[in-house]
Amino acid sequence: MGAAGVNVVGFDFGTRLIGVALGNRLTRSARPLGIVNNGPQGPDWPRIEAWLSDWKPDALLVGLPLTLDGEEQKASRNARAFAQQLEKRYGLPLHLVDERMSSVEAARRFADRRASGTAKRKHAAVIDAVAAEVITENWLANQP
């Protein structure tokens, strides 16, 4: 596998903000890229497009928020609809990732980064990007 085929971009879908992270298949690691505004008119597609153009991922990941017992909920349907839009727009392989524990892990990581001085309270919006990082790392960890 050369330079192509190492990047994936993960999304933590929210009705107001969408967290975005970049994952690397070789290192099986991810890092937050940032957040995209979302609203009644839909996501900030130009911002998403800019990241996809910069990083040229070979796959997209969307966190699927299931209930603790694995059931679908309104948020799951919204995330699936967003995933379908991504797939239609960009024609890249798309994977839905169970994100049940990602927000807990993201909150822990954000608190650790604040404690170490690498994140500030005013950067709380990046917790969505950290959630996307967790979703992406979880998916990478489960790849053969």
| Model confidence pLDDT, tens digit, residues 48-86 | 999 999 999 999 999 998 877 888 889 899 999 999 999
pLDDT digits over 76-132, tens only?
999 999 999 999 999 999 999 988 766 667 677 777 777 777 655 555 567 788 889
- Identify the band that residue 5 occupies on the pLDDT scale cut at 50, 70 and 90: confident
- pTM of the shown model: 0.84
Domain positions in the chain: 7-141
pLDDT value for 123: 58
Give residues with Cβ within 8 angstroms of 56, minimum separation 6.
4, 7
| Across 3-17, average pLDDT | 87
- Identify the band that residue 25 occupies on the pLDDT scale cut at 50, 70 and 90: very high
Please tell me the class of the 7-141 domain: alpha beta
pLDDT value for 105: 72
Neighbouring C-alpha atoms within 13 Å toward the C-beta of 115: 6
- Identify the band that residue 3 occupies on the pLDDT scale cut at 50, 70 and 90: very low
pLDDT value for 102: 67
Contact 44, 37 (CB under 8 A): yes
E runs forming strands in 25-80: 29-37, 59-64
125: left (phi over 0), alpha (psi -120 to 50) or beta: alpha
